[in-house]
């Protein structure tokens, strides 16, 4: 539907145009009316118009001033002048303001209809062209985004190679410099969708005409923005302060010298964003603010290993003091974020992984907490990470204590061996046996090997072959029958295992035993 505004100080003219257009075009036009130019501008402030038909001579504001004022608007409707005067002065004004038609009163119905149909066809063509341009622009932008995402995933590309990719992507404006931002998507927008959050950030920034930018989401779901100036990010920072409920956290890069520094700027923005671990409030953190952070740190690996040694010893107070020393916030804030990342990695490697490898995995609650603590950036703030890590260590300490108390209790392993002796011929595996004696799967595996000197699989295999040898030597059962009674899944597997362990096939073994008995 086309929005059409009729501007004329004579009511009978307005009504007459309305009647003619309704009879000919039905509801194809949404009609609006004004008695002078000032009223027309008020109507246009409320509703965007596609077409304005205006008289020239009107009180308060005439048609010439109206069409001149319309030229200052961002969205300009098509203009048709309606006048009772064939005046050259009016015609000049009409040409200057790109008026589409100049109709004389009294209105000739056919001329009006031809004008409306012609303008309607022009709008359709313009719309089709605009759609094509938007489609082309979207394709170009999608290609540029894909090239930038490719850059971020590549290792070892120098600035010349990066610049070539950026220019090929059509982002040559970045060669004059620019800035990058990385924005963390707040929790409440993660379910709503990226489009809604992008629109919100656009509204916060308030992009100005002529500001070059590109925005997209990286593989981690963070909003990436590149701009040609710092001004949009300055406005974003001011708006975040004004809207304290915005929850937006963004890291801002240093200024780029050219397109070859695109990846460097992205990494700077990402590093700045990480420092929100130490800041509760939303806002911006600029890479330039972090230049004084020291990088001459050493990860306290020995202290971290001590925490592992304290597990299970009922020395929680000592463990807590050691953690306070390792995670001293004054020390951490002196150094680059890589220091805290290194500590987190060392706890994963030297404490958590070692505990689970030695004692097996415990309850679902411990596993869930371990999965969360395993990544420092699963937390909004450093203190949340620290308290969760401390809680996990106390839970693991209790777990290790229980495991160690069971470690030398051989009765459960002896009971397991009896069970294996009684059920070797069934579909038996370590999960079944460890469950029977109520021991953790991983702990059972280790304890069984320490007690017997062999793995569960090796022990079960030897037992089954021993039973098979007894049957081969003392019965006339077929090989496949012996295979089943010994607990093998099929005769082929039985024959293969038998030959590997005894050096001969089952029938050859039987022949040897018969020969020995005849002597």
Query: Looking at residue 71, which CATH number applies to its domain?
Result: 3.40.50.2300
- At residue 177, the 3 state secondary structure works out as coil
Identify whether 200 is part of a domain.
Answer: yes
Specify the pLDDT at position 87: 57
What mean pLDDT comes out for the span 444-460? 87
pLDDT in tens, 145-203: 988 988 898 888 999 999 999 999 999 999 999 999 999 998 888 777 788 899 999 99
- State residue 327's pLDDT score: 96
- Cα 7 from chain centroid (whole Å): 52
* Pair (464, 489) in one structural domain: yes
Parent domain of 350: 301-395
Query: For the chain, how many structural domains are there in total?
Result: 4
Whether 105 and 179 share a structural domain: no
The CATH number of the domain holding residue 242 is 3.30.70.270
pLDDT band at 130 (very low <50, low <70, confident <90, very high): low
| Cα angle: 10, vertex 15, 17; to 5 degrees | 100
- 115 and 16 share one domain: yes
Same domain, 285 and 351: no
Query: Which of 249, 269, 289 marks a domain boundary?
Result: 289
One domain for residues 158 and 220: yes
pTM value surpassing 0.95:
no
Assigned domain for 159 exists: yes
**Contact (CB, 8 A) for 276 and 321:** no
**pLDDT-based confidence at 294, cuts 50/70/90?**
very high
Closest CA to 371 of 350, 395, 392, 351: 392
State whether 459 and 506 are in the same domain: yes
DSSP assignment of 371-422 equals HHHTSGGGSSSHHHHHHHHHHHHHHHHHHHHHHHHHHT-THHHHHHHHHHHH
Residue 94 lies in a domain: yes
Q: Does residue 407 surpass a pLDDT of 60?
A: no
Residues 414 and 497 occupy one common structural domain: yes
**Residue 497 and residue 419 share a domain:** yes
The pLDDT of residue 222? 94
CATH code assigned at 437 = 1.10.10.60
Nearest Cα neighbor of 355 from 313, 315, 414, 309 is 309
> Is 41 domain-assigned?
yes
Distance CA 53, CA 8 (A): 8
pLDDT class of 453 with cuts at 50, 70, 90: confident
Domain match, 190 and 64 both: no
E runs forming strands in 84-221:
101-104, 179-184, 213-217
Residues 362-404 pLDDT 10s: 666 787 888 889 999 999 899 999 999 999 999 988 888 777 6
- Does the residue 144 lie in any domain? no
- Of the three residues 88, 106, 125, the one that is the final residue of a domain is 125
Verify that 15 and 113 share a domain, yes or no. Answer: yes
Is the same domain home to 159 and 249? yes
Residues written for the chain: 519
Assigned domain for 131 exists: no
């Amino acid at each position: 539907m086309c929005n059409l505004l009729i501007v004329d100080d004579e009511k009978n003219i307005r009504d007459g145009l309305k009647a003619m257009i309704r009879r000919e075009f039905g509801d194809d036009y949404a009609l609006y009316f004004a008695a002078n130019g000032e009223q027309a501008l008020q109507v246009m402030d409320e509703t965007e118009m596609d077409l304005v038909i205006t008289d020239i001579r009107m009180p308060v504001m005439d048609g010439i001033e109206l069409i001149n004022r319309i030229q200052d608007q961002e969205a300009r409707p098509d203009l048709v002048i309606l006048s009772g005067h064939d005046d050259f002065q009016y015609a000049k004004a009409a040409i200057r303001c790109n008026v589409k038609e100049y109709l004389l009163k009294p209105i000739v119905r056919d001329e009006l209809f031809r004008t409306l149909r012609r303008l309607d066809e022009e709008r359709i063509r313009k719309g089709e062209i605009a759609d094509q341009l938007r489609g082309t622009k979207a394709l170009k932008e999608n290609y540029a985004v894909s090239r930038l995402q490719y850059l971020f995933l590549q290792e070892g590309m120098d600035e010349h190679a990066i610049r070539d990719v950026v220019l090929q992507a059509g982002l040559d404006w970045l060669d004059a410099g620019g800035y990058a931002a990385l924005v963390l998507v707040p929790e409440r927008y993660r379910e709503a969708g990226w489009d809604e959050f992008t629109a919100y950030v656009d509204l916060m920034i308030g992009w100005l005409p002529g500001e070059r930018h590109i925005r997209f989401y990286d593989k981690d779901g963070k909003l990436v923005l590149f701009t040609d100036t710092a001004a949009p990010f300055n406005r974003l920072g001011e708006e975040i302060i004004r809207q304290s409920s915005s929850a937006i956290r963004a890291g801002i890069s240093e200024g780029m010298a050219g397109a070859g520094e695109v990846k460097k700027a992205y990494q700077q923005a990402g590093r700045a964003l990480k420092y929100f671990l130490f800041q509760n409030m939303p806002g911006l953190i600029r890479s330039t603010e972090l230049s004084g952070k020291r990088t001459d740190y050493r990860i306290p690996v020995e202290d971290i290993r001590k925490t592992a040694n304290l597990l299970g010893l009922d020395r929680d107070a000592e463990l807590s003091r050691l953690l306070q020393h390792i995670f001293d916030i004054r020390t951490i804030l002196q150094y680059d974020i890589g220091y805290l990342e290194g500590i987190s990695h060392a706890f994963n490697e030297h404490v958590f992984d070692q505990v689970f490898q030695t004692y097996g995995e415990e309850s679902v609650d411990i596993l869930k907490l371990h999965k969360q603590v395993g990544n420092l950036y699963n937390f909004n703030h450093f203190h949340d990470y620290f308290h969760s890590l401390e809680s996990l260590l106390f839970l693991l300490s209790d777990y290790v204590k229980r495991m160690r108390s069971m470690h030398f209790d051989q009765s459960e392993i002896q009971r397991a061996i009896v069970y294996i002796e009684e059920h070797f011929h069934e579909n038996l595996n370590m999960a079944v046996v460890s469950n029977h004696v109520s021991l953790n799967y991983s702990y059972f595996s280790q304890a069984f090997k320490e007690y017997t000197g062999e793995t569960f699989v090796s022990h079960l295999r030897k037992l089954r072959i021993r039973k098979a040898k007894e049957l081969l030597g003392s019965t006339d059962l077929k090989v496949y029958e012996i295979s089943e009674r010994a607990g093998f899944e099929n005769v082929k597997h039985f024959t293969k295992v038998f030959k590997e362990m005894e050096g001969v096939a089952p029938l050859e073994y039987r022949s040897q035993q018969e020969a020995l008995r005849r002597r």
